[in-house]
Amino acid sequence: MIKAKQIVNGVIGIDPSLRGTGFAFGLKESEYNVIHFSKGSDPALDLCQISDQMEKIIVENNIKYSFKEGYCYNYINAGMTRIMEVGGILKRLFVIHNVQYIDVAALTVKKVLTGIGKGKKEGVQRVVNSLLHTTIEDDNITDAIGLYLVGQGYLYALEKNNKEFGIRVPDFNKDIEEYINDILERN
């Protein structure tokens, strides 16, 4: 039974981007980071690096649920294509390792954490840094932590409402906000 104030093990938030892929499977400094790409590096090698490193994280941390930042399919360019390739690599790993996954819109993360869905990215960074009493400058990491928190709140909301995994995240924004506010109040 998942209750407010309880953290579920086996959850990961992932923020794929062109500069690197941020991930968080907990709130301790050793549980979040970013896989950086070198400028001008071979995109195929970058994908292999993400695949290898993320598979290790999934296996070593017994990941069961993933909340990955989604992207807009209507906005396609070379950079977006690369992000979609990263998404494909991640989804392949989720299937292989039996990880349930949901893509979460950046607007949903911003809305739940800051109250403003169309707010600036820095708002998520500010909330995460306040929660952790730290200064994380890499927005890939703070976005991944935000996704991790939304994931925790989503699992709480499913339990509270007796629903199955796979329902759209925005359907539970109020319950997720309740869960995250509970965490913020404790810290």
- Cα(187)–Cα(184) distance, integer angstroms: 5
| 6 falls within a domain | no
Find the domain containing 41 and state its range: 11-186
Task: Supply the pTM of this predicted model.
Answer: 0.90
What would the pLDDT profile of 128-172 be if each residue is shown by its tens digit?
998 888 999 999 999 999 999 999 999 988 888 888 888 788 788
- Cα(50)–Cα(66) distance, integer angstroms: 15
| 1 falls within a domain | no
Minimum mean pLDDT range among 54-58, 79-83, 89-93, 180-184 = 79-83
| 29 falls within a domain | yes
| 4 falls within a domain | no
Q: Over 60: is that where the pLDDT of 73 sits?
A: no
Q: Over 50: is that where the pLDDT of 112 sits?
A: yes
Q: Over 50: is that where the pLDDT of 26 sits?
A: yes
Give the residue-averaged pLDDT of 36-63. 90
| 2 falls within a domain | no
- Virtual torsion, Cα 104, 105, 106, 108, nearest 10 deg: -90
| CATH number of the domain bearing residue 17 | 3.30.420.10
